[in-house]
Amino acid sequence: MPEVKSIFREVLPKQGQLSMEDVPTMVLCKPKLLPLKSVTLEKLEKMQMEAQKAVKLQELAMKEQNQ
Amino acid sequence: MEVTMDPLFLAWSYFRRRKLQQCSDICTTILQDNSYDQAAWSLKTRALTEMVYIDEVEVDQEGIAEMMLDESSIAQVARPGTSLRLPGTSHGGGPTPAIRPLTQSGRPITGFVRPSTQSGRPGTMEQAIKTPRTASTARPVTSASGRFIRLGTASMLTNPEGPFINLSRLNMAKYSQKPNLSRTLFEYIFHHENDVNNALDLAAQATEHAQFKDWWWKVQLGKCYYRLGLYRESEKQFRSALNHQEVVDTYLYLAKVYQRLDQPITALSLFKQGLDHFPGEVTLLTGIARIHEEMNNIPSATEYYKDVLKQDNTHVEAIACIGSNHFYTDQPEIALRFYRRLLQMGVYNCQLYNNLGLCCFYAQQYDMTLSSFERALALVANDEEQADVWYNVGHVAVGIADLTLAYQCFKLALAFNNDHAEAYNNLAVLELRKGRIEQSKAFLQTAESLAPHMYEPHYNLSILSEKIGDLQSSYTAALKSEDSFPEHVDTQQLLKQLREHFSVL
Amino acid sequence: MSESSLLDLPSGLVAFFMDLHEPRIPAVAVASGPCVYVYKNLRPYFKFTLPGLRVNTLEQDVWRQVREGQIDPLTLKEMLESVRKTADVPLSVRSLRFLSLDPDDMDDFVQLHKQQPIRRQTVITCIGTLKKSTADEDGVSCLVIGTESCDVFVLDPEAFIILSTMSLPAPPTMMDVTGQFDVEFRITVACRNGNIYILRRESEKPKYCIELSSHPVGLVRVGKNVVVGCADESLQGFTQKGKKLWTVLLPAPITTMASMELPTRGLQAVLVGLANCEVQLYRDKSLLSSIKTPEVVSSICFGRYGREDGTLIMTTKDGGLIVNILKRTASFEDRAAAAGPPLAQSVRLNVPKKTKLYVDQTLRERESGAAMHRAFQMDLSRLRLAAAGAYVKALESSLTPMSCRLSEPLKMNAVVQGLGPAFKLTLNVQNTAACRPVANLAVSFLYDESLYRMRTPYMRIPLLVPGVVYPVETFVECSSDKGISDIIKVFVLQEGSSAPLLSAHINMPVSEGLTIN
């Protein structure tokens, strides 16, 4: 294919009215930085998890005893 | 011959090395021999307290009941800039929801979570009860029950030998006379047993014994009142304690009371007053920054966080908050700096690597982007975190136009967290590109019901409905979008266009 | 003060001179239902009722037969139905009412009404006045009435007989009248079909027609031109022959319009009340002035009030009354319309500056671009593999809350409500196919039976119509008071297949019901 030299050059007017067409498109939700957890919160969650596990184990043990 | 250490000294040493279980075990043995050994008894209470101790300043979670049956509010609608309750009352020129995602309460997400900022504040009782409740987002009914659930689980464990101290048989009057025992006992009751009534009883008798001159007991009384929801009484105690002795902690507790009473301005001036006595105190500066942040005044929050860093350049909260702020104000390269600093400081978790990955990608440091996300995925602690990381990887995939990968990532986010509204919304956008209108619509509707505070699903649904000619649905959706993000230009334009449509013959 | 109650809602009110008696006191005409009530000296004076419309002869005949006992109500109903379908003259109200009755009530209705003759009555929709023979301010005027039956009548002011009848293609809603009846007049009528018609003397049909692009909500004549306010928030000017002159876009919907004429200063303008609590004054298409009002204005009148020539009276939507007096020094000059590009074009956007760090980083990118690209591509293939692996795993175990099978494209999300120990679980199941329903589905749950009790651990789902969300509800009870919670897994199953179509994990909140006593 022969190379076609472009005869159109872009024009950026300094004066006058600027028009543009704005087509609405759907938007994505934005990327989410994950917040770091404070020490207190981490300790709380850890304690809670451990306690949950312990309670569950205890309940199981109680059941086995009852049987 | 084997030289044995004095058991009490050993226990003390364990205690100092934070081997609390061993410490408590030794004390138990000592107490079995001599149940009147006060030193061992006191050490054991301290060990047991330390096991479950968390900073009382940090713990705060408002329950549904307190929020809705709020007796301290005077006006239904607070004046702008004077309340923590209205999200967005003072936009201090921070980023809009178009750039910075919102939390459920309609506040921009921050770089740091604390126990009190975990769940959003619903606007109405109905919303509070209707909000889909899961283990991670549910708000407790009352703050008493909330704490009970969070902290009290430990105390509910039945000890095989019965409780260490039987509170009902304790002679409070006797112990309150012994200053060297009463304090550890109080902390044990307050933190370990979580029994505020008895703790209050002890504190009241002890402060009487000290002839109302001991600031420490007054602070403890204030803490008890605070937990019981008697904020005015608690304020009185803290104020009185401050008169005896200026202590940073007391300022923090008192500010917490004002925040709960929704008087952020008073809290701010209190912090400033505290700073006069303790110039450059980091916790006070952090307190100010947090209030600014909660009032949506991100620029001045950042200023205060910067002050914090001047005093303490390893302050994780300040670094994280400034970093996230830079990210959402279009300077990911600076955010990257801050997060790298955290990495150097030894913070090593999924959240940090995820943030590093995002910052690298948007700062065009592509070689480190995906490896950071890989690390993040390897470090996830639970399904919610995994979902969030996949969601962000999906964004990278969208950025490099790999829509298959993006589709998979968003779906994975949903597989790990069925309530991930953002993933639903983004999936809907991808579905529409494939021309699957029904699917897209269904996903948007789900996203809408899961997160009514986000404007994206509403706006997208509005555009979709407009495209398929359902102008009425489009209009109602656009109105909802306007409701959650009034400044959104595209929504306004769409509404205008629809209104024109409706008025034309 | 005097108060007279009307039988029906009023549809229009005008003041006019009906005779030449001295002192000159105008009468008030109120249009309501099919009547015009004329009041003079605050007392009822005369009532004019519109003539009845032509009645369908077939209908009349049928009722006559009923009166003579020739047919029973059921036959009557049949005959009326056929008349209604075929005849070009519509049925009377009585017949229409009869047709809508239950068969049990028909007999009584016929007995009650059969003796009276059938009438068809129309109602007045708008009213105006037209000078009889002189253009004097206190000259005798005729009433001009527009009716629901698409007619316009001109009434004689003294004898109240119809002087002239004109008909329109649609029911009129607003009208403006100018000229003298005996010389030449023009009636401009806005109609319910969104068109404006111009009627002239000695022509029964409208002479000109203006077709609008939006419904008219206000009509005011200014000199020889007509200004129309439309529902699309625009103000349009037309010549009296219906040629469009100009259009102005308004900032808000129009609530009311009125003309403002000040002959002493040669001002002819239009007042427009807007829904954004503003009243704007236009001379042709140029905005002369605007007033802010505390509430939305519902009607405007400008003219002489007492000794003051330029008085503006407005009523507000919430029932307030505002009286403004024109300043004697007021000047009405066009505000200069700015030409050229709009202001917004030259506002600089607040784009954050690129930091030095950024520049440094781009340098690095320029230097080691190839290596970065390679590293990224390698990581990307690894990540693609990892994602695909996780995705396949999720699909195989149907972990996703939406199914990917083409035959049953389903979606589900679960909502938990309640504080405990009892919780309500709502599963919103939706078929996202374009048009194919899905049937034979069931839901089952997997949970720790020592912790939770479920009323219905297995449920069948009805046939799912595409696009509709089906909420499936069940109740869960937490049997532990120790403040622990667990995950409940939900599966949607199809009959004859052991692998679930989709599944959801519900992180149950901690039960609080037992802890608050």
Structure tokens at C169: 């293609």
Instruction: Average the pLDDT over B328-344 and give the result.
Output: 89
Instruction: Average the pLDDT over B299-304 and give the result.
Output: 89
Flag whether B396 is in a domain.
no
Flag whether B179 is in a domain.
no
Q: Give start and end residues of each alpha helix (H) in B73-142.
A: 125-130
Structure tokens at C437: 């329903």
Which of B78, B74, B88, B73 lies closest to B295 in space, CA to CA?
B88
pLDDT for position C509: 77
pLDDT for position B60: 64
Beta bridge partners of B412: none
Q: What are phi and psi of B21, to 5 degrees?
A: -65, -45
Interface membership of C100 toward A (CB under 8 Å) = no
Total length of chain B: 505
Judged by CB atoms closer than 8 Å, whether chains meet at A38 and B460 is answered as no
Q: Which of B93-97, C51-55, C146-150 bottoms out in mean pLDDT, i.e. has the lowest?
A: B93-97
Flag whether B29 is in a domain.
yes
Q: Give me the torsion for CA of B375, B381, B382, B386, rounded to 10°.
A: -10
Judged by CB atoms closer than 8 Å, whether chains meet at A41 and B398 is answered as no
Q: Which of B73-82, B337-346, C130-139, C423-432 bottoms out in mean pLDDT, i.e. has the lowest?
A: B73-82
Structure tokens at C317: 């939507």
| For residue C51, cis peptide bond before it (omega within 30 degrees of 0) | no
Higher pLDDT, C60 or B308: B308
Judged by CB atoms closer than 8 Å, whether chains meet at B367 and C375 is answered as yes
Contact C31, C148 (CB under 8 A): no
Instruction: List, as one string, the DSSP characters of B238-264.
Output: HHHHHHH---HHHHHHHHHHHHHTT-H
Query: How far is Cα C297 from Cα C273, in angstroms, rounded to an integer?
Result: 6
Q: Which of B69-83, B430-444, C30-44, C212-226 bottoms out in mean pLDDT, i.e. has the lowest?
A: B69-83
Q: Is the dihedral of CA B327, B331, B332, B334 positive or negative?
A: negative
C282, containing H or E segment: strand C278-283
Say whether B482 sits in a helix, a strand or coil.
helix
Contact C227, C246 (CB under 8 A): no
Instruction: Average the pLDDT over B111-135 and give the result.
Output: 55
Predicted confidence band at B162 (pLDDT cuts at 50, 70, 90)? low
The CA-based angle B438-B441-B443, given to 5 degrees, is: 110
Chain B, residues 398-417, CB within 8 A of chain C, namely 400, 402, 405, 408-409, 411-412, 414-416
The residues, any chain, with a CB within 8 Å of residue B486's CB and separated by 6 or more, are none
Query: How far is Cα B230 from Cα B244, in angstroms, rounded to an integer?
Result: 22
The residues, any chain, with a CB within 8 Å of residue B361's CB and separated by 6 or more, are B332, B369, B395, B396, B399
Assign 3-class secondary structure to B443-496: HHHHHHHHCCCCHHHHHHHHHHHHHCCCHHHHHHHHHHHHHHCCCCHHHHHHHH
Predicted confidence band at A21 (pLDDT cuts at 50, 70, 90)? confident
Examine the pLDDT at A10 and tell me if it is beyond 80.
no
Higher pLDDT, B154 or B473: B473
Structure tokens at C295: 């509430």
Among candidates C230, C382, C483 on the partner chain, residue whose Cβ is nearest the Cβ of B149: C483
Query: How far is Cα B51 from Cα B19, in angstroms, rounded to an integer?
Result: 9
Radius of gyration of chain C (CA): 37
Tell me the per-residue pLDDT of C109-160, one tens digit each, with 9 for 90 and over: 888 887 888 888 888 999 999 998 888 878 889 999 999 888 999 988 888 8
Judged by CB atoms closer than 8 Å, whether chains meet at C345 and A15 is answered as no
All residues of chain B having their beta carbon less than 8 Å from the beta carbon of residue C216 are none
Structure tokens at B422: 């953002």
Q: Please count the residue pairs, one from chain A and one from chain B, whose beta carbons lie less than 8 angstroms apart.
A: 126
C199, containing H or E segment: strand C195-200
Beta bridge partners of C464: C438
Flag whether B40 is in a domain.
yes
Q: If you count DSSP H runs as helices and E runs as strands, how many of each does chain B have, helices first?
A: 26, 1
Look up the CATH number of the domain holding residue B433.
1.25.40.10
Contact B64, B129 (CB under 8 A): yes
> What's the DSSP call for residue B5?
P
Bridge pairing between strands C195-200 and C216-222: unpaired
Tell me the per-residue pLDDT of C209-243, one tens digit each, with 9 for 90 and over: 888 888 999 999 888 889 999 988 889 999 888 88
Q: Which residue range forms the structural domain that includes residue B427? A: 419-505
Query: How far is Cα C297 from Cα C277, in angstroms, rounded to an integer?
Result: 7
- Select the residue from C484, C486, C507, C515 to test the A interface by mutation, using most A Cβ atoms within 10 A: C484
Longest Cα pair distance anywhere in chain B, in angstroms?
Answer: 107
Examine the pLDDT at B160 and tell me if it is beyond 70.
no
- Select the residue from A18, A45, A50 to test the C interface by mutation, using most C Cβ atoms within 10 A: A18
Among candidates B140, B402, B411 on the partner chain, residue whose Cβ is nearest the Cβ of C391: B411
Q: Which of B467-471, C28-32, C235-239, C334-338 bottoms out in mean pLDDT, i.e. has the lowest?
A: C334-338
Q: If you count DSSP H runs as helices and E runs as strands, how many of each does chain A have, helices first?
A: 1, 1
Tell me the per-residue pLDDT of B206-263, one tens digit each, with 9 for 90 and over: 988 888 888 999 999 999 998 888 888 999 999 999 998 888 999 999 998 888 888 8
Structure tokens at C307: 């000794």
Examine the pLDDT at C340 and tell me if it is beyond 80.
no
Q: How many domains does chain B have?
A: 2
Q: Neighbouring chains of A at 3+ CB pairs within 8 Å?
A: B, C
Predicted confidence band at A45 (pLDDT cuts at 50, 70, 90)? confident
Flag whether B20 is in a domain.
yes
Examine the pLDDT at B390 and tell me if it is beyond 90.
yes
Predicted confidence band at C332 (pLDDT cuts at 50, 70, 90)? confident
Contact C187, C199 (CB under 8 A): yes
pLDDT for position B91: 46
Contact B86, B79 (CB under 8 A): no
Structure tokens at B306: 């910067």
Total length of chain A: 67
CA distances from B146 to B63, B65, C50, C512 (A): 7, 11, 75, 8
Flag whether B73 is in a domain.
no
Instruction: Average the pLDDT over C463-478 and give the result.
Output: 87
Among candidates B153, B415, B450 on the partner chain, residue whose Cβ is nearest the Cβ of C394: B415
Predicted confidence band at C478 (pLDDT cuts at 50, 70, 90)? confident
Examine the pLDDT at B120 and tell me if it is beyond 50.
no
Predicted confidence band at B396 (pLDDT cuts at 50, 70, 90)? very high
Say whether B383 sits in a helix, a strand or coil.
helix
Examine the pLDDT at B153 and tell me if it is beyond 70.
no
The most confident of the ranges B420-429, C109-118, C415-424, C504-513 is B420-429
**Percent of chain B, pLDDT > 90?**
30
**Percent of chain B, pLDDT > 70?**
79
Judged by CB atoms closer than 8 Å, whether chains meet at C482 and A55 is answered as yes
Domain ranges of chain A: 36-67
Interface membership of B441 toward C (CB under 8 Å) = yes
Interface membership of B158 toward C (CB under 8 Å) = no
Examine the pLDDT at C309 and tell me if it is beyond 60.
yes
All residues of chain A having their beta carbon less than 8 Å from the beta carbon of residue B464 are 26
pTM confidence score = 0.73
Instruction: Average the pLDDT over C475-488 and give the result.
Output: 78
Beta bridge partners of C445: C490
Structure tokens at C327: 């300043």
Which of C372, C338, C9, C73 lies closest to B360 in space, CA to CA?
C372
- Taking all residues of chain B, what is their mean pLDDT, rounded to a whole number? 81
| For residue C90, cis peptide bond before it (omega within 30 degrees of 0) | no
Q: Which of B87-96, B345-354, C269-278 bottoms out in mean pLDDT, i.e. has the lowest?
A: B87-96
pLDDT for position B147: 47
The residues, any chain, with a CB within 8 Å of residue B444's CB and separated by 6 or more, are B424, B425, B428, B457, B460, B461, B464
Amino acid C370 reads A
Q: Is the ipTM of this complex over 0.90?
A: no
C167, containing H or E segment: strand C162-167
Interface membership of A66 toward C (CB under 8 Å) = no
Among candidates A15, A17, A56 on the partner chain, residue whose Cβ is nearest the Cβ of C484: A56
All residues of chain A having their beta carbon less than 8 Å from the beta carbon of residue C340 are 16-17
Query: How far is Cα B123 from Cα B146, in angstroms, rounded to an integer?
Result: 19
Say whether A50 sits in a helix, a strand or coil.
helix
Instruction: Average the pLDDT over B319-329 and give the result.
Output: 88
Radius of gyration of chain B (CA): 27
pLDDT for position A1: 46
* Domains observed in chain C: 57-113 (no CATH), 225-326 (2.40.128), 410-507 (2.60.40.10)
Query: How far is Cα B258 from Cα B269, in angstroms, rounded to an integer?
Result: 11
Interface membership of A50 toward C (CB under 8 Å) = no
Total length of chain C: 517
Bridge pairing between strands C195-200 and C184-191: antiparallel
Judged by CB atoms closer than 8 Å, whether chains meet at C483 and A16 is answered as no
